[in-house]
Homo-oligomer: A and B are copies of this chain.
Amino acid sequence: MQGQNYSLTQIPERPSKPRQSGLTMVMDKGLSVREIEDLLSVAGNYIDIVKLGWATSYVVQNLQEKLDVYKAAGIPTYFGGTLFEAFLVRNQVDEYQKVLDKYGMEYAEISDGSLELDHEEKCKLIERFSKQVTVLSEVGSKDAEKIIAPYQWIQLMQDELSAGAWKVIGEARESGNVGLFRSTGEVRSGLVQEILTKIPAEKIIWEAPKKTQQVYFIKLIGANVNLGNIAPNELIPLETIRLGLRGDTFDFFLNGK
């Protein structure tokens, strides 16, 4: 699958769905059923997985219907990690597992972005949830002042993958200004490059809501980097950046430049 509508040479190869790399994770923070149908009609081929951002699933009035629409389209969904943390901090982890069950969720995110969680305990929770669902685990704090050193990021990621996580997610929030990024949104590129010396790129989903961040990862890792927290109306733009068809990467895939 390389775009739809006419022929161009020298376009990077993109695997078809279901993909193991080149994933795009979309952030849904309150779409209606019709908006989801619209998105599928325009860009369904480019959506690998959808996150119902943080605890938005608690308040949206169309939860079951929206899950049904994604399911019918063969697109996996999961609730944002903050929801897991909201149950955890209230000592309601069992209840959370029942919620996942009630809604037939096949994926879940385990994270500690908004609370303190002993890492051994986190890995046990990853292991526990892995028996019920496919786990995405997230590394990095939502607190802009909490800086984790690169060697620690690597250790955390390795341990979480060993504990059973399918992919690890690099934190950025919806706004792209924490975790992997400085408060200005600039990539902590030393951190990213050091992580990549130890963790295979296809095991990581980089949250990269801003265009400059997407361009950075595509230039560093290639068209088929896994990217997350993509706003619905940025899906088509992102796909053009992956293919070298927007100004930002126009030269990049031509003649090896």
> Which of A's residues lie within 8 Å of B, judged by CB?
3-10, 29-35, 38-39, 41-46, 53-63, 82-83, 85-87, 89-90, 92, 95, 99, 102, 113-115, 142, 173, 175, 211, 233, 235-237, 239-240, 243, 245-247, 250-251, 254
Contact = CB atoms under 8 A, between A and B. Distances in A.
Contact of A44 (B9, B61, B90): B61
A30 B235 contact: yes
A60 B247 contact: no
This chain: copies in complex: 3
A254 B91 CA distance: 12
B240 A8 contact: no
B5 A250 contact: no
Nearest to A98: B6
A85 to B, nearest CB: 7
A6 B58 contact: yes
B54 A240 contact: yes
A58 B4 contact: yes
A42 B58 contact: no
A175 to B, nearest CB: 8
A250 B85 contact: yes
Given A9-B92, A41-B61, A55-B240, A82 B30 contact: no
Give the 3 A-B residue pairs with the shortest CB-CB distance, closest first.
Answer: A30-B236, A32-B38, A55-B245
A247 to B, nearest CB: 4
A90 B8 contact: yes
27 contacts: A4-B58, A5-B57, A5-B63, A6-B99, A6-B102, A7-B95, A29-B236, A30-B235, A33-B38, A34-B34, A34-B38, A42-B60, A42-B62, A43-B61, A45-B61, A54-B240, A54-B245, A54-B247, A56-B240, A58-B240, A59-B236, A59-B239, A59-B245, A60-B236, A85-B250, A114-B250, A173-B247
A247 B82 contact: yes
Contacts of A55: 240, 243, 245-246
A56 B250 contact: no
Contact of A142 (B39, B46, B142, B247): B247
